[in-house]
Structure 1
Amino acid sequence: MKICLTDEQQMIQDMAMKFAQSELAPVAAQLDAKPDEDLFNANLAKLAELGFMGLNIDGEYGGVEAGTVAFSLAITELAKACAATAVTTSVTNMVAEVIQAVGDEEQKQTYLPKICSGEFLAGGFCLTEPSAGSDPSAMKTTATRDGDDYILNGSKIYITSGSIAGVFVVWAVTDAAAPKGKGISCFLVDADSPGLTISKPEDKMGQKASPTNEVHFENCRVPASNLLGQENKGYAIAVSELAGGRIGIGSLALGVGLAALDYAKDFIQERHQFGQSLAKFQGLQWMLADRYTEMEAARMLLMQAASLKEQGLSFATQASMAKLFASEKANKACYDALQMLGGAGYIKEYPLERYARDVRITSIYEGTSEIQRLIIARDVLR
C-alpha cells in the first residue's frame, strides 16, 4: 500500500500549516475569549482565496480538485491552530461537495463559484432538528409544493456557520405519508430568502469563534429549481454526505489532539521537579508514547477512508471508524496533555483548557460516537 503524499498533497498540507501558524494561531485564544466576527470572517476569506473552500471541487467551478486526502490533511493543520476555523472550513467544503455531487449544472454554476471564491463566506448544512438529531429521518420541517415553488416551514438547530452562510442545504419532508425516511427532499436555500431567519449564536463550551445557530423557516418560498436531486430522495443524500463529513471532523479532532500533545511535550521538557526534567519520568514518557501512537493510528484510519472516497470506492464504514477512533482518542490526548501540565493546564494562560473544550464536541457532531458504533456494527454483522 502506497502511503506517500503526492507533491500536490504535500504542497496543500504545507500551505495549510503555514497559514495556520501565521494567521490562525496568533489570534485563536483571542477569538475564544471574545468572538470577533470581522477577524474570523477575514481569515475565512483568506482561506477561500487560497483555495481551501473548494478542495475537492472541479476547477470549472472554482475549486482546486485536490481530492479528499488533501482535504483531510488541510483540516488537520488548520485545527492544530484554530478548531473553530477548521470546522467552518470542513462544513463549507461538505456543502460544496453536496452541490457538486447532486446538483444540476445550473445549480453548480450558480453556487459553487460563490462558495469557492469566498463570495459566500460559508455554507450551512441544515439537517438536525430539536426532535431529529441522531435520527434525522424523524425531522418535522416540511416543504409543500406550490406552483413553481416549495414553501418551507420548520426549524433546524446546531447549524455551523448559520449566521455567516450564504447558502444552506436544507432537508425537509415533502411526503408525510411515505415510510419513515422515504418522503424527504433536499433543497438549496439562499440566506436572504424571505421567511428564513437566523437566531443569535449559541453560547458554546468550545469552538466559540465559529457561530452555531438555529435556522427557522416560516413560509419560506424556495424555487422548485432549487430542489437538489429528486423529490423524496433526499435522505440518501444526507446519509452519503455525512460519511464524507466524518472524515473532516476526524481530521479536525486529530489536529487538536496533536496540538495538545505537542504543547505538553515541550512543557514537560522545560519544567523540572525533583531535580530533573519532567520528561525524564517514565510515567509521562509512556503517556506521551501511548497518545502519539493513537494519533498516528487515527491518521492512518483517516487516510484510508479519504483514499477510498477519492477513488470512488465504498468508504462509509471506514469513515465511521476513523471518526470514532480519532475523536475518542483526541479527547483522551487533550485530557492527558492537560494532566501533564498539572495545575497550569487548568489556567487559561495555557492553551490546554481550550484544546480540551474544543475537542469535546468532535465525538458528538457529524454523528455521535454511539451512532458510529452502530454503523460499524451493522456493517460487520451484515
Structure 2
Amino acid sequence: MTDNGGPNGNPVKRDAMGLGMAVVKRMAGSSLLDKVGLRKPVERALVGSTRAGFQAAGAASRAFTKVSKLRAPARPATPNASATFDLTPTEDEQLIASTVREFASEQLRPAAAQANEDCAPPDGLLAKTAELGLHTVAVPEELGGLATERSAIAGVLIAEELARGDMGLALACLAPSAVSTALSLWGDADQQATYLPAFLGERPPAAALALQEPRALFDPRQPRTRARRTPDGYRLDGTKSLVPLAGSAELFVVSAELEGRGPGLFLIEANTRGVRTEPEPAMGLRAAATGQLHLDGVRLAGSSLLGMAAGTEVLTECVRLSRLAWCALAVGTAQSVLDYVVPYVNEREAFGEPVSHRQGVAFRVADIGTELEGMRLATYRAASRAQQGLSYARETALARTLCAEKGMTIGSDGVQLLGGHGFTKEHPVERWYRDLRAIGLMEGAVLV
C-alpha cells in the first residue's frame, strides 16, 4: 500500500503489518498500559512505535460535522479466500486476543460486580477502551483507522476476550465500535467524513446500534419502527429496547421499515427533536446501562439512510454480523464459567475429598469444556467465511443456535456446580448465568 508520509513528501511503500500490529501500534503510545501493567508485553511486540490521532470534541458540546471531502466511501479490503480449512488465529490475531484479555482482567473483571449493581459502566471506561484503539479496529486505514483489510475474526476475538472480564461491560465497550463498524461497512462518503473522525480521537462518542424492539416474536429483519418519506428527508416513529448506553449515547444507528422500499438503517443524533430515552434495566447485561429509545416524529435529512445504494441487504448483513458478535460474547463468558468452576470443584471438599472426584461433577465439567469448544469453532468458522466474502448465513444460524442453547446450559451448570454458593452474589457465576440467557434474545448492539 502507499503511504504519503515519506521524506520530501514522496510516497513510500510499506508492507501491511496486519491488523494485530496496527492495534499494538495504537496501544504502544497509550498511558493506560502503565496503569494496567501491559507496557512490557506490548513493547516486546513492537518497539519504537508512534501513535497519531487527534483530540475529539467533548461529548457535551460535540457536533458531528464533515471534516473533509471524500470522493468515495472507504471500505476494508476483503482477504483472499483460503483453500485450507484452518480456524487457528494468526499471530497478529493472537496478539490482539492476548492484549485484550489482559485489559479485561485488569479493568473489567474487578469493576463488574459494582457495575452490575449500579446498572452502568464505571466512569472513564469508554476512554480507556478508546486508548486501546478498539473503536477503530474496523475503520479503514485510509480514514485513520486500523483496518488494512476486513477482519471479522479479529472482531470476534476482541468480543470474546472482553466478555471473559464481564459480558455487560464488554457490551458497553463494544457499543460505540458497532456504530463505527457500520459506518465503515455501509456508510457513504459524506456519512464517513461526518461521523467517523469523532471515533478516532481519545474521547469517542458513546453510540449504539439499536435493532431490538419490545414485542413478542420479534424479527429484526421486519422492524415495526416506521420511516416515512418527507419533502426534505424522512420521519421516524417507533421504540427500540435494550439499547446499550441509551442514556448517554450521542449517536444511534436505528433499523426502520421505509415505506415503499423495505427495512434499512438510519443515523440519528441524540439531540434530534423527538428522540427520548429512558432506563430499562434487564435481568442480565446490567452494566451496559440498557434503555429504551423512543422516536416520536423524528425528522431526518435525506442523507441519514445508511447504505442507500445497497437496498435491504444492509440490514440482513447487519443482523448476521451482530449475531456473530453475540456468539463471541457467549464463548467468552462460558470460558469464564469453566475457568472458575474447575479450581472450585478441585478445592472444595466433601466427605474428605474434592468434589471433583465425584463422577457427576467431573462429567458435568467435561461437558462444559466440550460444548464450549463446539461454540467456539462454530463461531470462528462463520466469522472466517464472513471475512473472506463467502456465504455465511447458514454458519451464523448454526453458531447462534448452538451458543444460545449451550451457553445457557453452561451458565446453569456453573451455578449448579457451586451448589448453594452458586445462588449467592459472593461468586460471579450467577451474574454470568443471567448474562448468558441474553444470547438467544438480543439483536443488534454489537457488530464484528
TM-score of the superposed pair, with normalisation by structure 2: 0.75
* Structure 2 partner of 1:210: 288
Change (3 A) 1:136 1:357: closer
**Relative to 1, partners in 2 of residues 1:35 and 1:173: Cα closer, same or farther, differing over 3 Å?**
closer
Contact 2:276 2:294 in 1 (8 A): yes
Q: Partner amino acid for 1:314?
A: S
Over alpha carbons, which structure has the higher Rg? 2
1:186 and 2:270 correspond:
no
Paired letter, 1:173: E
Task: Name the structure 2 match of 1:48.
Answer: 130
**Structure 1 position 104 matched with structure 2 position 188:** yes
- Name the counterpart of 2:86: 2
- Higher helix proportion: 1
Contact 1:115 1:122 (C-alpha < 8 Å) held by counterparts: no
**1:198 and 2:282 are equivalent in the alignment:** no
| Conserved? CA contact 2:337–2:411, under 8 Å | yes
Alignment of 1:148-159 (within 5 A): 148-159=232-243
Instruction: Please list the CA deviations of residues 244-297 of structure 1 after superposition, one character each: whole Å capped at 9, or x if unmatched.
Output: 111110010111111112111111111111111112222211111111011011
The code of the aligned residue for 1:225 comes to: S
Which whole-Å CA distance do the structure 2 matches of 1:91 and 1:118 have between them?
Answer: 16
Residues 127, 15 of structure 1: CA spacing in aligned structure 2 closer, same or farther, 3 A cutoff?
Answer: same
Indicate conservation of the 8 Å contact 2:163/2:329, yes or no: yes
| Contact 1:139 1:173 (C-alpha < 8 Å) held by counterparts | yes
Q: Per the alignment, in what secondary structure is the counterpart of residue 198 of structure 1?
A: strand
SS in 1 for 2:442: coil
Corresponding residue number in structure 2 for 1:281: 358
Structure 2: distance between partners of 1:237 and 1:167: 19
2:145 matched to 1:58? no
Cα 1:72–1:139 change in 2 (3 A) is closer
2:408 maps to which residue? 331
Structure 1 residues 295, 137: CA separation in 2 closer, same or farther (over 3 Å shift)?
closer
TM-superposed deviation, 1:133: 5.6
Which residue matches 1:380? Answer: none
Q: Which residue of 2 aligns with 1:13?
A: 97
Q: How does 1:152-167 map to 2 (within 5 A)?
A: 152-167=236-251
Q: Does 1:141 align with 2:225?
A: yes
Q: 5 Å matches for 1:1-382? A: 1-37=85-121, 39=122, 41-65=123-147, 67-117=151-201, 119-131=203-215, 134-136=218-220, 138-175=222-259, 178=260, 182-199=261-278, 201-230=279-308, 235-366=312-443
Give the distance between the partners of 2:367 and 2:228, measured in 1 at CA.
54
What displacement does 1:119 show? 3.8
Q: SS at the partner of 2:135?
A: coil
* CA spacing shift, 1:103–1:50, aligned 2, 3 Å: same
Instruction: Provide the rounded CA distance (Å) in 2 between the counterparts of 1:282 and 1:331.
Output: 22
Distance 2:202 2:252 in 1: 15
Please give the secondary structure, in 1, of the residue aligned with 2:134: coil
- Secondary structure of 2:298's match? strand
Shift of 1:315: 1.0
Deviations 1:121-153 (A, max 9, x none): 433223333448623455443333333332222
Matched residue type, 1:227: L
* Residue pair 1:72, 1:251 contacting (<8 A) in 2 also: yes
Work out whether residues 129 and 157 of structure 1, in 8 Å CA contact, stay in contact via their aligned partners in 2.
yes
When residues 287 and 361 of structure 1 are mapped into structure 2, their CA distance, relative to the original with a 3 A threshold, is: same
Determine the C-alpha separation between the residues in 2 that align with 1:289 and 1:351: 20
Structure 2 letter corresponding to 1:92: P
AA in 1 matched with 2:401: L
State how far apart, in whole Å, the 2-side matches of 1:361 and 1:254 are.
13
CA contact (8 A) 2:222 2:257 kept: no
Query: Sequence identity, in percent?
Result: 33
1:118–1:174 Cα change, 3 Å:
farther
Distance change in 2, residues 1:305/1:118 (3 Å): farther
Residues 355, 109 of structure 1: CA spacing in aligned structure 2 closer, same or farther, 3 A cutoff? same
In the TM superposition, residue 23 of structure 1 has moved relative to its aligned partner by 0.7
CA contact (8 A) 1:45 1:121 kept: no
C-alpha separation between the residues in 2 aligned to 1:271 and 1:189?
Answer: 52
Q: 1:219-268: CA deviations, max 9, x gaps?
A: 3221112222338x754321111101111100101111111121111111
Superimposed CA distance per residue, residues 313-344 of structure 1 (whole angstroms, 9 cap, x where no aligned partner): 11122112112212321211121121111111
Q: CA deviation at 1:212?
A: 1.6
**Aligned-pair distance for 1:26?**
0.8
Question: Deviation per CA, 1:182-227, whole angstroms, max 9, x where unpaired?
Answer: 433432111111221111x212111111122211222322111222
What is the distance in 2 between the residues matched to 1:7 and 1:186? Answer: 35
Q: TM-score, normalised by structure 1?
A: 0.87
User: Residue type matched to 2:276 in 1?
Assistant: T
Aligned mates of 2:311, 2:208 — CA distance in 1:
16
Q: Which residue of 1 aligns with 2:70?
A: none
- Are residues 138 and 295 of structure 1, via their aligned partners in 2, closer, same or farther at CA, if it must alter by over 3 Å? closer
